[in-house]
Every structure is written in C-alpha cells, then in structure tokens.
Amino acid sequence: MANKAQNGSKLIYYPSEDVIKNAHVQEYDQLYAQSIQDREKFWAEQAENIDWFKPYDKVLDDSAKPFYKWFTGGKINIVHNAIDRHLTTGKRNQLAMIWEGEPGDVRTLSYHALNREVCKFANVLKSMGVKKGDIVTIYMPQILELPIAMLACVKIGAAHSVVYGGFSSDALINRIEDAKSKLIITADGGYRRGKTTQLKEIVNEAIRQCPTIEVCLCVKRTGEEVYMENGRDYWLHDLINLPNASPKCETVEMDSEDSLFILYTSGTTGKPKGVVHTHGGYTVYTSTTHRMVFDVKDYDRWWCAADPGWITGHSYIVYAPLINGSTIMLYEGAPNHPYPNRWWQMVEKYGITILYTSPTAIRGLMRYGETWPQRHDISSLRLLGSVGEPINPEAWRWYHEVIGNGKCPIMDTWWQTETGGFMITPLPITTLKPGSATKPFFGNEMAVVDKEGNAVGPGEEGRLVIKAPWPGMARTILKDPDRYVETYWKEYEKQGWYNAGDSARIDEDGDFWIIGRIDDVIKVSGYRLGTAEIESALVSHADVSEAAAIALPHDLKGNAIYTYAILRQGCEGSRELEKEIKEHVAKEIGPIAKPEKVTFTDSLPKTRSGKIMRRVLKARALGLDEGDLSTLEE
Ligand code: PRX
C-alpha cells in the first residue's frame, strides 16, 4: 500500500508489488467472471480443500427456492476439518490458540492440546445426556472454554446457540425458550475494565423462567462466590477430571445440511431471529473467504478482536481460522484496560500479523492519539481488517497509517449474520478507497436496485441485493421458515433475490459503498439491535405508555440510540425519570442498548394505520426535510 493517488476528493490506495507477489490470489477480474459463469464449479473446487467423510452428490440443490441446499448427500463435520485433520500433520504441535485474560494471565493451546480439551468437554456433555440434534445454549465471557464448548457441542452432533455475554437475563430467556435448550454452559463471571461480570447470577435468574433447562455447566473464572443449585448446576472442573471425561472422543458424521449452530440476531419485530447455519456450505464458505481475503499463511498470527458470541467470532475467530490451521489470538477484556496501549502491547508481545476489528474499536483507540501505538513495535502486522459498519475515511486513514504503518492493506468486509461470511470485500491485491468495501467476493452477484428491482445508476443510492445463492447463506430461521421467506426473499420475490436490508451505492469503477440499514435495525458500535426490541423494553417501564427509537449519527459509536416516550397519565417527565428509563432499557436488553437520550413527548408521528414514522423523527432530530408526509396521521 505504498502508493496513494488523489482522484477528485477521494484517496485511492494501490497495493504494493510485494503484497501482490506474495498473495494467494493474484488476479480478480478474470477469476470473478469465471466464478459467476460457473458458480458450482468454483465452489466445487473450493470444497476440495475440505475433508468429507463421504463425498457430496450435488453442489447446489435449488429445487425448493429460497431454501437452497449445498453439497447435498455429503457427510462432514466442521470439527473434523478444524481440528482432527491437523492432528496427523505437522500442525499438531503448532499453536492453535493464544489467550490472554484481562488481568494478564495467559494460556496457549496447540492443536493437540485443543483436541484434548474439546474431547474431554465433549465427553462431559455426553455424560450429561447431550445428543445429536440438541441445541446447547452457551453464555460465557471471552475465555478459552467458550470456543472449546462450541467445538465440543458440534463434535458430538449438537448445535450451539451462543448468547453474547453482555446480554441481560431477559434476552437470554427469550433465546433459551426459542431453542428449547436442556443444557446451558456458563461461567461464574469474567473480567471487564478491571471489574468482574456476574454471569452465573444472570443465568440463575434466567433458568428460573426456563423450565427446559435441566443442567447448567459452570466454568470457574473469577472464583467469586456464586449460587449453585444441587442436582442442576455442576462445576466443569469437577466433571472434566472424572474418568469418563476421557481425552478421546469420536467426531460424529453429519449431513452437509445438518444444523451447525443457531445465532440470534435482531430484525424488524421484537422477537430475535434464530438464524440457522449448517455444516457443509458454511465450512467451505468461511474457510475459502478467510484464506483468500486475508491471504492466510502458515506463519500468521491471526487476531479477530470480536466476541466469539457474534457471527464475526463464530466464523472468523473459531471456525475458519482453525480450518485453515492458523494460530488464533483471543483476549478477554477491554481494549483500553488498564491503558489504551493494551492491544498494541499484545500485537508486539505475540507478533500478531493480521488484525481484524470494527470501526468503533478503531475510533475508540484513535481518540487516545498515536503515541500509544507508537510505544510498541507493531511492525509484525501485514494485513488489517474492518467489519460491522461503514468505516469513516478518517478512521480508515488512521488505521492504515498509524497502525499499518502505511503498508498494510485494509480489508473492509461487508457481510451479515445471515450470510455466514464475507460477501463484499477487497483482496490484498485490490485497489482500495477508504470507506468502500470494494467488490463482491467470488461467486457472488450483487446489485444496488430501486424498489422495483431496477439497477440504479452509478453513484445513486439504492437497496443492496444478492442475486444468487452462496454456500455460507443461512438456511432458515429456527422454527419460523415463513419469517425467513418474508424477511429476506419477499421484497424481490419475482426476481428471486436476497434483500440485505442495507442501502448502498456503486461508483463508476464498480466499487460498493455501504450506507446503512434501511429497515428497523440499528447498528450501535457495530452491534445489531432492533428498534422494536428497544421500544418494547421502553414500554415495559411502568411510566411509559408509548415509545419510539431511532438511530442518530455518533462520532464514536457510528450510531447512537435516541428514544421518545409518551408517559402514562399522571407521570411527569424529569431528569431522574430519564435516567431511570435508560437504566431500565440497559437492564432489559443489555448495556449496549442503553439509549443516549429519552425525550418526553405528547405524541409520535404515525401513519394512519398506526405505524410510527421513525423517518420523520429522524429528519426532525437532524433538522432535515421531513419528506413525503402524505401518510402522516392528522
Ligand atoms: O448494515 C450492515 C453492517 O452490519 C449489518 C450486519 O450486521 P450483523 O448481522 O450483526 O453482522 C455484523 C458482522 C458481519 C449489515 O447489514 N455491516 C457489516 N459489515 C459492514 C457493514 N456496513 C458497512 N461496512 C461493512 N464492512
């Protein structure tokens, strides 16, 4: 990335010859054209990098659109590809994971040791009655037992449903109830900004309302006193040292289309959607995108600084890097604890070569200035990545110049929980423009269209659609296939396109620029929340009768949540009440959902059919034109 050029007001970064010479993929246009011409051939070639217990019969089965199936007839297990197959090669003794706790404790696992831990954990799960087809809920801090637990479930044929450790007990209850989990895995707590989080307490509260839970496995992390119910709650360290938790455990053969995991994400209604991913397509898709986009090499130390509890963590902390035999870095705590050099200190200490994070994290660290990273030798970095929200050019340049020393290309990857892996992304050889995710990945046909499905002109804003299936796509929404069709496939039913819910532009060079969500989803610090979830948390406060939530731009978080509340008769708006309502929302959903502001109002702009016009609220808050008000109720 040595060369930059000015094109009008836009900066363009060209890859250096060094980067091009060493990249796995040295050319995009031709390979992309071929991958579109014969998509199945492209994916069949990629599937050769994967071990199948039994070869698949068909690459793509599109007989029941939009319920596409991939690699049908194949027998596979992602854990066999992520761990078992490395044990017979030189990888066996290579580091699979380096983990650092916030207090500074360090643990490392070779592939051999990871296998042992996963086998022992899997045998504990078996002894507790977990079977193929079960869904195990996992609610944990960022400790090594989190990926180990995920892999252990999948090894024996169960699917996991990981609930982000920052969510409240109510969010946990909803997800356990939907998945009907019998077993939950948690920890006493974890460390965050020098304090401990009380996870087990939240789990205890949740289990009280979740009759399906029979067993709770608890990992000891903080050592703080927690309530353990006799006959229901077990310490992992007690069970894992029993003779039946042997270090050997068979990896169960799964069908390509068997469920691998459920991951809940926000949508337009209050009820989170259980997005379902399956073994075959996800294994091929995530490992291919990771290998090609981040150009992974044997010597790389890969750090995806997300929480394993989100899709980024599932695909690119746990599964893809292990399949590709990388050494993975995991860190438990906050980037600025105890000082804002914490990340850079770890990059130096462990010789991290690739860092993949979110614009929010970059902006957060940028505000402390460049002297913090400059205290450390971070020259081991050779590639950088960004995900979760559009990256503003200022943050891009800081990341590129201060962290990447002007030499590391930035892979701005656009994708979603539902897509499983990167959809629009540069490759190391791509010409980059700060703020653009550039071009579709191989095999992906994407477009920006109007409401009717006509392509909009260069530079014009429209809706982002995916025109053809890809192996990493979500297969359905758990127990709600109609909602799957309705949410993603209804809008462009005639054309058979997937509606991403984002607005975007394509410039004259064919580069994609993502603008943001057009549906009722809010991205706060890269986290995805639904306005409906926030509104229902607001009205669950005793004084609130009606509420609306919108997103407004925020320097650090990308977006912040602004809310409007109509109070019940007899209630008075006050600063104290505002504070109380904010805390209430944080308690109902989790601290990430805490509103920036609660405005008390007597009325909300609504359509005649009673739908809140959030667009009008937003325009008013920003002092912009309110647009077409013909449907506004008098
Ligand atoms: O709006 C887009 C934004 O994140 C949404 C997906 O959120 P989630 O399912 O939580 O997955 C996040 C991690 C993959 C998208 O609809 N988004 C994701 N990546 C980018 C992005 N917006 C702009 N640029 C990106 N690179």
- Protein residue closest via CA to atom 22 of ligand 1: 389
- 3, pLDDT greater than 80: no
Q: What is the pLDDT of residues 466-477, one digit of tens each?
A: 999 999 999 999
Q: What single-letter DSSP state applies at residue 518?
A: -
Q: Summarize pLDDT for 564-591 with one digit per residue, the tens.
A: 999 999 999 999 999 999 999 999 999 9
Per-residue burial over 523-556, b if 16 or more Cβ lie within 10 Å, else e, is: bbbbbbbbbbbbbbbbeebebbebbbbbbeebee
**Residue 626 pLDDT:** 83
Q: Residue 482 class from Cβ within 10 Å (0-12 exposed, 13-18 middle, 19+ buried)?
A: exposed
Instruction: Provide the pLDDT for residue 607.
Output: 84
pLDDT reading at 9 higher than 60: no
What distance in Å separates the CA atoms of residue 360 and residue 527, rounded to the nearest whole number? 10
Q: Mean pLDDT over residues 495-519, rounded? A: 96
Q: Mean of the pLDDT values across residues 96-106?
A: 98
| Closest C-alpha to ligand 1, atom 13 | 388
Q: What are phi and psi of 383, to 5 degrees?
A: -145, 150
Once rounded to an integer, what is the mean pLDDT over residues 133-145?
A: 98
Q: Which residue has the higher pLDDT, 3 or 342?
A: 342
**CA separation for the pair 295, 429 (Å, rounded):** 10
Widest distance between CA atoms in the chain: 73
517 in contact with ligand 1, CB cutoff 6 A: yes
Strand (E) or helix (H) holding 474: none
**6 pLDDT higher than 70:** no
User: Is the distance from the beta carbon of residue 390 to the nearest atom of ligand 1 less than 6 Å?
Assistant: yes
Residue 178 pLDDT > 70: yes
Which atom belonging to ligand 1 lies closest to the Cα atom of 528?
10
Residues 6+ apart with CB under 8 A from 208: none
Q: Atom 10 in ligand 1: which residue has the minimum CA distance? A: 528
Judged by average pLDDT, the poorest of 41-45, 64-68, 95-99, 514-518 is: 514-518
- Say what the pLDDT of residue 350 is: 98
Structure-model confidence comparison of residues 533 and 81, the more confident one: 81
For residue 485, how far is its CA from the centre of ligand 1 (angstroms)?
Answer: 20
Q: Judge if the beta carbon of residue 413 lies within 6 A of ligand 1.
A: yes
* Residue 5 binned pLDDT confidence (cut-offs 50, 70, 90): low
Closest CA to 448 of 519, 513, 354, 525: 513
Residue position matching structure tokens 């455990």? 249
Per-residue pLDDT at 500: 97
Q: The tokens of 519 are what?
A: 């549906």
Give the rounded distance of the alpha carbon of 483 from its chain centre.
Answer: 21
Residue 68 β-bridge partners: none
**What's the CA gap between 415 and 320, in Å, rounded?**
15
Q: What percent of the chain has pLDDT over 70?
A: 98
Q: How far is the CA of 503 from the centre of ligand 1 (A)?
A: 11
Local confidence band at 134 (pLDDT 50, 70, 90 cut-offs):
very high
Task: Indicate if the pLDDT at residue 280 is higher than 90.
Answer: yes
pLDDT digits (tens, 9 = 90+) for 360-419: 999 999 999 999 999 999 999 999 999 999 999 999 999 999 999 999 999 999 999 999
d(CA 631, CA 622): 21
Q: Are 170 and 204 in contact (CB under 8 A)?
A: no
Average pLDDT, the chain: 95
Residues in a beta bridge with 354:
302, 383
Specify whether the CB–CB gap between 349 and 375 falls below 8 A. no
CB 319 within 8 A of CB 78: yes
Whether residue 357 has its Cβ less than 6 Å from ligand 1: no
Round to whole Å and give the CA distance between 146 and 167: 16
pLDDT computed for residue 4 by the predictor: 67
Residue-level pLDDT at 585: 96
Q: Residue 415: CB within 6 Å of ligand 1? A: yes
Ligand 1 center–CA 414 separation, angstroms: 6
Residue with tokens 């607005």: 503
How confident is the model over 446-457, as pLDDT tens digits? 999 999 999 999
**What is the CA(533)–ligand 1 centre distance, in A?**
19
Q: Which residue has the higher pLDDT, 183 or 1?
A: 183
pLDDT at 271: 80
Report the atom number in ligand 1 closest to the C-alpha of 391: 24
To test ligand 1's pocket by mutation, which of 310, 439, 519, 523 has the most ligand atoms within 8 angstroms of CB?
Answer: 523
pLDDT value of position 520: 84
| 126 phi/psi in degrees, rounded to 5 | -60, -45
**Helix%, strand%, coil% for the chain, nearest 5:** 30, 25, 45
For 197-227, b/e burial (b = at least 16 CB within 10 A) is bebbebbbebbeebeebebbbbbbbbeeebe
pLDDT reading at 2 higher than 60: no
Q: Residues 257-281: what's their mean pLDDT?
A: 91
Strand partners, 631: none
**What is the DSSP code string of 577-608?**
HHHHHHHHHHHHT-GGG--SEEEE-S---BBT
pLDDT tens, residue by residue, 584-612: 999 999 999 999 999 999 999 988 878 88
Give me the pLDDT at residue 18, please: 87
CB of 523 within 6 A of ligand 1: the answer is yes
pLDDT category of residue 627 using cuts at 50, 70 and 90: confident
**What's the rounded Cα separation, in Å, for the pair 473 and 440?**
15
Closest among 334, 277, 284 to 311, alpha carbons compared: 277
What is the C-alpha separation between 14 and 6, in angstroms, rounded? 11
Whether the Cβ atoms of residue 222 and residue 196 lie closer than 8 Å to each other? yes
Which ligand 1 atom is the nearest neighbour of the CA of 424?
26
CB 217 within 8 A of CB 184: yes
In the structure, what pLDDT confidence band is assigned to residue 630 with cuts at 50, 70 and 90?
A: confident
